[in-house]
Amino acid sequence: MKKLQNYIDGKFHAPISGAYIDNVDPSRGTVYSLIPDSGQEDIMMAANAAKAAFPKWSGLSIEERSKILVRFSQGIEDRMDEFVAAESMDNGKPVSLARQVDIPRAVSNLHFFATAILHFASESHYMEGVGINYTTRKPIGVVGCISPWNLPLYLFTWKIAPALAAGNCVVAKPSEITPYTAYLLSEVAAEIGMPPGVLNIVHGLGSNAGDAIVKHPDIKAISFTGGTATGAYIAKTAGPMFKKLSLELGGKNPNIIFADCDFDDMLSTTVRSSFANQGQICLCGSRIFIERPIYDKFKIAFAEKVSRMKVGIPSDPNTKQGAVVSKDHMEKVMSYIALAKEEGGSIVAGGNQVTLEAPYEHGFYLEPTVIEGLSFDCRTNQEEIFGPVVTLCPFDTEEEVLKMANSTQYGLAATVWTSDLKRAHRVANQIHSGIVWVNSWLVRDLRTPFGGVKSSGVGREGGWEALKFFTEPKNIFIKN
Ligand code: NDP
């Protein structure tokens, strides 16, 4: 069985403990590779390598760093089929989705920041008759990047790319549930001649390897995407060490549908915003609020479309719902469906586990599920499920829907469907979230600020925000 390895100082290493963790293929429920169970000593080795590489990497001209990162992005593109297959195998997502979204976006992330850095300028502030301030933005040093399992390479590169472009050296840990494309990325780093120690990829459990990154005194900034509880733990641990923190956390996003919207466009997009990637995208709209005059029309049309979505093996091009990521996660989602019923909800579509034919009979498949009849403040409507489950809730007024939309602890993203421009602005401005899509969903421009408010996180990624996070500003004043 294939044993993945850590990538430290430009070389491949077994974990110092010699221990490995099973890597499961969610489409079959079977172990297909082994992941290093790394710990503090492996992280120490990686941090030392990164520290040693930092003077040279940060001392390269921006053009030289940019060229290396462009080669890095090209290296993924050259092995596209392999990356696509690996991402689908590790995560359970349809191959078609990995091909259309995950891997192309990883290529774009690296290319975007490789070129963005060429245009990244610092500020100066002239004081008439007094002097001039100029601000330098230097890389921080060694930074840690920790990413989750839902969009594995997409989110891993979203952090690594700006960190490297800005001149930092990186110790990165992918989720132990989906490590394979990060391992392939380390092969690409070696192939394209990434200088040793600049990027170190260490595999292992969050509570072991992840924790060691957060606690390492030489790792000066942590960029983390994952659950809110883990984010809170990281903030508590890294805060007293005065590390810079970027935390992209959970969501429970509202999808607000007014009766005057373009119904067909809204309907097809809402199927995607509810169930893309088996609903395992932090930006999915899991609470759907529908203006009462179109509630029944929407419910019938939506349930019909959702019931026709094919739940199947990831490699089938007709599959719309692949496997969810793990047995634990499947059980968690099923427990929320049971909770919804206890809380008085009725199932409009789905609600069950799906057993496919051999050899996929032990895979983790769920029907896309639609539930109605719940109060906006029940647990099902307040807690993040992060799976193929959405709830429907009617509303009568803007004031009422805003109250319900803003009622959770989360504030990541929201969607508003209306053809009334004034209302679009009004509602978008009153939603408590970092991102609002009007008459669309998941349209991403990599230059825009990305992130959430309340328990959805601290800080913003994307564009200049990411390059600012990964640099330390220093203001220098010179008297006239
Ligand atoms: P987790 O918080 O469980 O894990 C995220 C990463 O952190 C993993 O690599 C994990 O390692 C690691 N980790 C876990 N514990 C620690 C620790 N104590 N110290 C350091 N690292 C640790 O999240 P999931 O992987 O379950 O991802 C799903 C969550 O991510 C959802 O809540 C979702 O909303 C959120 N998310 C947010 C996004 C955003 O942009 N706001 C985007 C995508 C997802 P391991 O898995 O190996 O244990």
420: amino acid identity, one letter? D
Tokens for 203, please give them: 């595999």
Residues forming CATH 3.40.605.10 domain(s) in the chain: 2-249+456-479
Measured in degrees and rounded to the nearest 5, phi and psi for residue 147 equal: -130, 160
- Structure confidence at residue 244 (pLDDT): 98
The domain at 2-249+456-479 falls in which architecture? 3-Layer(aba) Sandwich (3.40)
- Structure confidence at residue 334 (pLDDT): 98
Distances (CA, A) of 242 to 143, 147, 162, 237: 13, 21, 21, 10
Q: Which CATH number is 254-446's, of 3.30.499.10, 3.40.309.10, 3.30.70.1140, 3.40.50.850?
A: 3.40.309.10
Measured in degrees and rounded to the nearest 5, phi and psi for residue 3 equal: -105, 120
Q: Are 183 and 5 in contact (CB under 8 A)?
A: yes
Residues forming CATH 3.40.309.10 domain(s) in the chain: 254-446
Reported as a single tens digit per residue, the pLDDT across 305-318 is 999 999 999 999 99
Mean pLDDT value of segment 188-202: 98
Residue 204 CA: nearest ligand 1 atom is 47
CA of 250 to the centre of ligand 1 (A): 9
Question: What is the rounded distance in angstroms from the CA atom of residue 189 to the CA atom of residue 54?
Answer: 16
DSSP H helices, 166-222, are 180-192, 211-215
Ligand 1 neighbour 189 (Cβ under 6 A): no
Q: Are 185 and 159 in contact (CB under 8 A)?
A: no
- Structure confidence at residue 285 (pLDDT): 98
DSSP H helices, 193-326, are 211-215, 228-238, 263-275, 295-307
Residue 229 CA: nearest ligand 1 atom is 2
Ligand 1 neighbour 282 (Cβ under 6 A): yes
Q: Are 407 and 380 in contact (CB under 8 A)?
A: no
CA of 286 to the centre of ligand 1 (A): 19
- Structure confidence at residue 21 (pLDDT): 97
The verdict on pTM exceeding 0.95 is yes
Ligand 1 neighbour 210 (Cβ under 6 A): yes
SS3 86: helix
Percent of the chain at pLDDT exceeding 70: 100
Distances (CA, A) of 154 to 124, 260, 362: 35, 35, 27
Ligand 1 neighbour 225 (Cβ under 6 A): yes
- Structure confidence at residue 262 (pLDDT): 98
CA of 421 to the centre of ligand 1 (A): 37
Reported as a single tens digit per residue, the pLDDT across 65-122 is 999 999 999 999 999 999 999 999 999 999 999 999 999 999 999 999 999 999 999 9
CA of 225 to the centre of ligand 1 (A): 6
The residue whose CA has the least distance to atom 18 of ligand 1 is 207
Alpha carbon 62 to its chain's center: 27
CA of 230 to the centre of ligand 1 (A): 7
CA of 283 to the centre of ligand 1 (A): 15
Ligand 1 neighbour 106 (Cβ under 6 A): no
Ligand 1 neighbour 386 (Cβ under 6 A): yes
How many H helices and E strands in the chain?
Answer: 16, 25
Percent of the chain at pLDDT exceeding 90: 100
Dihedral, CA of residue 269, residue 398, residue 456 and residue 23, to nearest 10: -30
286: amino acid identity, one letter? S
Tokens for 169, please give them: 């050296």
- Structure confidence at residue 233 (pLDDT): 98
The residue whose CA has the least distance to atom 32 of ligand 1 is 227
Measured in degrees and rounded to the nearest 5, phi and psi for residue 8 equal: -130, 130
The residue whose CA has the least distance to atom 11 of ligand 1 is 206
Distances (CA, A) of 292 to 152, 253, 288, 416, 431: 38, 20, 12, 15, 20
SS3 376: coil
- Spatial neighbors of 368 by CB under 8 A, at least 6 apart, are 274, 275, 279, 306, 309, 311, 321, 349, 350, 388
43, 145, 150: which to mutate for ligand 1, most atoms within 8 A of CB?
150
Q: Is the dihedral of CA 238, 239, 242, 245 positive or negative?
A: positive
SS3 358: coil
CA of 249 to the centre of ligand 1 (A): 8
Instruction: Centre a 10 Å sphere on the Cβ of residue 331 and count the other Cβ atoms it contains.
Output: 12
Reported as a single tens digit per residue, the pLDDT across 18-48 is 999 999 999 999 999 999 999 999 999 999 9
20, 159, 175, 327: which to mutate for ligand 1, most atoms within 8 A of CB?
175
Reported as a single tens digit per residue, the pLDDT across 127-166 is 999 999 999 999 999 999 999 999 999 999 999 999 999 9
Alpha carbon 193 to its chain's center: 27
Reported as a single tens digit per residue, the pLDDT across 221-253 is 999 999 999 999 999 999 999 999 999 999 999
- Structure confidence at residue 8 (pLDDT): 98
Q: What is the DSSP string of 132-169?
A: EEEEEEEE-SEEEEE--SSSHHHHHHHHHHHHHHTT-E
Reported as a single tens digit per residue, the pLDDT across 457-469 is 999 999 999 999 9
In 418-465, beta strands by DSSP E: 435-438, 453-454, 457-458
Reported as a single tens digit per residue, the pLDDT across 346-368 is 999 999 999 999 999 999 999 99
Tokens for 95, please give them: 């191959």
List b or e across 209-238, with b for residues whose CB sees 16 or more CB atoms inside 10 angstroms: bbbbbbbbeebbbbbbbbbbebbebbbeeb
In 334-388, beta strands by DSSP E: 346-349, 353-354, 365-366, 369-372
Active site residues: 248, 282
Reported as a single tens digit per residue, the pLDDT across 421-436 is 999 999 999 999 999 9
Mean per-residue pLDDT of the chain: 98
